[in-house]
């Protein structure tokens, strides 16, 4: 289930946000080797101070954090304009009808004890669930498109699950990988395709309370 939490409500869920920032550090610094700042085991950047909307995938029974993504309006500070402007040499994407998604991550600790075949299936399902949540959240807010910066690995994943995007700007090699900017249509057709891939026929956005869980459960560790 996907829970949408505004930045202003972050203090209500300290354990959950601590788990999310720790997950981001493990994924983006530890596993992907991105040039991000990690302090005290947490990856937090300046865009977390720009009142984003967070979508978090939680296990409905245990409350364990399974994945997360951050959404920001393109009319204010965002990563494409302020960090990856090299991808858009002719200008940037800016519209009240377009948000930016960033820090898309699936919690690696939820499948470390599983075999590869099952782990891959689980990762793909959480990925699709988060994408479905993005479409639903955008539609509720009257947002027509989401723009995102992603690497070649994510481009392959998007294509494999029929998550179509329009490439904008010019791909550039940043570090060791090609980096892209893409525009995603938050349409019923997109939601239908993703729902078919992940078998999410009904809404994935939760309307109820966040399930209680300890910090240990939220960011379960497999040593």
Does 220 map to a domain? no
Does 191 map to a domain? yes
CA angle 125, 97, 107 (to 5 degrees): 25
Spatial CB neighbours of 130, under 8 Å, sequence gap ≥ 6: 2, 55, 57, 67, 68, 69, 104, 106
Does 45 map to a domain? yes
Q: Which residue in 91, 93, 56 sits closest to 71, CA to CA?
A: 56
Does 213 map to a domain? no
Does 211 map to a domain? no
> What residues form DSSP beta bridges with 145?
98, 185
Which residue reads 């993504």 in tokens? 69
* pLDDT on residue 187: 98
Write out pLDDT tens, residues 75-93. 999 999 999 999 998 888 9
Number of domains composing the chain: 1
The low-confidence residues of the chain, meaning pLDDT below 50, are: 221-223
* pLDDT on residue 124: 83
* pLDDT on residue 222: 39
* pLDDT on residue 176: 79
The order of strands in the sheet holding 2-6 is: 2-6, 53-58, 65-73, 98-106, 145-151, 177-185, 166-174
CA distance 162 to 210: 30
Does 129 map to a domain? yes
pTM: 0.90
* CATH code of the domain in which 186 resides: 3.40.630.30
Does 26 map to a domain? yes
As a whole number, the mean pLDDT across the chain is 89
* pLDDT on residue 117: 55
> What residues form DSSP beta bridges with 167?
182
* pLDDT on residue 223: 37
Which residue reads 């995603």 in tokens? 184
Name the residue range of residue 90's domain: 2-205
CA distance 78 to 47: 7
Does 219 map to a domain? no
* pLDDT on residue 31: 86
Write out pLDDT tens, residues 199-211. 999 999 998 767 7
């Amino acid at each position: 289930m996907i829970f949408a939490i505004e930045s202003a409500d972050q203090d209500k869920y300290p354990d959950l946000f601590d788990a999310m920032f720790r997950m981001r550090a493990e994924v983006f610094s530890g596993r992907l080797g991105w040039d991000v700042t990690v302090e005290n085991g947490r990856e937090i950047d300046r865009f977390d101070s720009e009142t984003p909307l967070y979508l978090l995938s939680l296990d409905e029974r245990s409350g364990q954090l399974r994945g997360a993504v951050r959404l920001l309006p393109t009319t204010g500070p965002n990563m494409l304009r302020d960090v990856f402007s090299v991808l858009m040499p002719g200008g940037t994407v800016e519209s009240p009808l377009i948000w930016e998604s960033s820090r898309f991550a699936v919690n690696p600790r939820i499948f470390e004890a599983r075999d590869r075949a099952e782990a891959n299936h689980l990762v793909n399902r959480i990925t699709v669930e988060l994408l479905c949540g993005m479409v639903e959240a955008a539609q509720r807010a009257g947002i027509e498109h989401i723009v995102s910066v992603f690497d070649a690995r994510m481009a392959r994943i998007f294509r494999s699950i029929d998550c179509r995007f329009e490439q904008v700007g010019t791909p550039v090699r940043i570090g060791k990988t090609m980096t892209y900017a893409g525009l995603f249509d938050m349409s019923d057709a997109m939601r239908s395709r993703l729902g078919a891939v992940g078998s999410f026929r009904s809404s994935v956005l939760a309307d109820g309370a966040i399930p209680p869980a300890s910090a240990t459960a939220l960011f379960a560790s497999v040593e």
